[in-house]
Each structure stands twice: as C-alpha cells, then as structure tokens.
Structure 1
Amino acid sequence: MQRITVTLDDDLVEELDRFQREKGYQNRSETLRDLARAGLSQRSAEHAQGACVAALVYVYDHETRALSKRLANAQHDHHDLSVATLHVHLDHESCLEVAVLRGQSGEVRHFAEHVIAERGVRHGQLTVIPVNVSHESHPHGGAHSHPHSHAHVREAG
C-alpha cells in the first residue's frame, strides 16, 4: 500500500466528512479509497466495448415543441436497442423516462447522447453495464427447448 498526499479545499473536505459520517466509514482513507474505486469502475464501464445493457434516465419538458414525438421516433428508429421504457409524469411540464437498452456499447452511447442533447431534455444520465451475450437452447418450464440469448454481466476489473 502507498501513502499519498492530497490537497482539498475546505468545502470539499466538509462534504467528504459528511459523506463519511452518513455512510459509516471509519476514516477518510477508507472513504477516499471507495470513492476512487467507484469512479474508476464507472469510467471503465463508460469506455467498455462490446455488448451491454444500459439504463438511460432523463427528464424533459413535454411542452417543448414536438419533443415527445421526436423522443418516441428516436426509440422507434432504434427499436433494436430499446427493450422497454417507463414514462412518469412528474408535474404539469416535466416527464421522467427510463429507457432500458441492450446492444453494442458504442451504439447505446450514441443513442443516449442523441436523446440527452435534444432541446427540452433537462437532465440525462446513462448507466452502462458490460455483458457477454450467449445464445442457448433449453426448456423453460416445459419439455420443449427453444433458442434465445442470455446477457451475462461481465465482472468488473
């Protein structure tokens, strides 16, 4: 293990200490180690290649001219990536959508960036989970076997 020295401004130290207390860490070193691991893991997933499953979460103003239609059309145009969408009315102007996506990481990221960049989309976040896809044939509850694919989550690191 190595010892490093880090200089942080007072506001950031306060926030770090508050986080430490809320999560029950014993000291700043443990807190910083876990935060660094989480950040590196997220960065690794964001740059992963190959197949993935993902959740695209975004909030948009449904009053923005034709935005709802453009978002629906984007989902239809990328139906090969779209698994499911949850739509929630937050208030009189705002809607939250969660789109579950499955496909090649680059295509999923490109689609998410397009959605988030739409005028009227206020917040957007993509969570990518790298997977290995296998094609299998086995029965489910009955005697008849049928082929389908399984997405197995890749282990981090």
Structure 2
Amino acid sequence: MQRVTISLDESLAEAFDLVAAEQGYSSRSEAVRDLVRKAIAARRDQTDEGECVANLSYVYNHGVRSLAQRLTEISHAHHDLIIATVHIHLDHDHCLESTMLKGAKARVRALADAIRAERGVRFGDLNLIAIEPNAHGEALTHDHGHGEHNHLTPEPG
C-alpha cells in the first residue's frame, strides 16, 4: 500500500468529515480510497471499449400506441444483453421497468438509447459499471451472432 498526503483547507476538511461520517466510513483514508475508485471507474466507463454490467430504468406510458409491443420487440432483438427485467405498474397509465444488462459497453449503450428514444418512454437512466476479465483472463460476458449456436425454443402447441 502506498501512502499519499493531501492538504485540505479547514472548511473543506470539516465538510468531508461530515459526509464521510454520514456515509459510515470509519476513516478519512477509506473515504478517499472510495472516491479514487469512483473517479477511476467513471473515467473507464466513458469509453465504449470493454464490457459492462448495467441497469436501465425507465418510466413509460403504456397507453402510447404500440409502445409495449415495440419495447418487447427491442428486448427480444437484444436477448443476449438482457439478464432480467422487473416491471412495476405505477398508476393506470405509467409503468416502470428496470432491466439488468450485461455485455459490450457499446451494445449496452445502443440498446439503452434505442429504448429511451421510443415515443412514450420518459425518465430513462442507464447506470453502467465497467467489468474486467476474471482471474483466468476469461470475459465475464460474450457477444454472439445467431449462426454460431441454437437457442432453446418452446415446442409449438
């Protein structure tokens, strides 16, 4: 571990100590380490290279003509990125969907953009977290085309 010394004026140090205490940090060092981790992750998340896990949450008006069908079609077209979706009825007209995603950052962002661009979708927000290959050098996610393998499909009838 390396030791780093920083200087803060008294008012900034007091404000930082209050925030650190409110968030439950046991020391300034742990709070600073967490800030550094967040800054590094935010910088890494800005590129479209690499893979990620993400959550896309959005509110939509299910009364908008064909919107629910279009959202379902978009989801099916990107089934390899979608891990799970939670659907919540907010009122008579609006639903909240929260979709867990995993895959190439560029593809995850493109899917989020496509959903948020649909007429009737409001308040869309993507929380993306870059991921690295595991200890064996294997990617945690994989992209695939449809010529490489078969999908399990329910039998008709």
Normalising by structure 1, we get a TM-score of 0.60
CA–CA separation in structure 1 for the residues paired with 2:45 and 2:101: 15
Whichever structure has more strand as a proportion of its residues is 1
Partner of 1:118: 118
Provide the alpha-carbon RMSD of the alignment. 3.5
CA–CA separation in structure 2 for the residues paired with 1:30 and 1:88: 37
Partner of 1:145: none
Q: Which has the higher contact order (CA 8 A, sep 6+)?
A: 2
Question: Unaligned 5+ residue runs, structure 1?
Answer: 134-149
CA–CA separation in structure 1 for the residues paired with 2:7 and 2:110: 37
Whether the 8 Å contact between 1:53 and 1:100 is mirrored in structure 2 is: yes
Alignment pair present for 1:127 and 2:128: yes
Aligned residues: 133
CA–CA separation in structure 2 for the residues paired with 1:49 and 1:99: 21
Secondary structure of 1:132's aligned partner: coil
Whether the 8 Å contact between 1:48 and 1:130 is mirrored in structure 2 is: no
Q: 1:43 to 1:67 in 2, by over 3 A?
A: farther
Question: Unaligned 5+ residue runs, structure 2?
Answer: 142-157
Identity %: 37
Q: 1:152 to 1:45 in 2, by over 3 A?
A: same
Q: 1:132 to 1:27 in 2, by over 3 A?
A: closer
Alignment pair present for 1:80 and 2:83: no
Query: How much does 1:115 deviate?
Result: 1.5
Bigger mean CA offset, 22-31 vs 107-116: 22-31
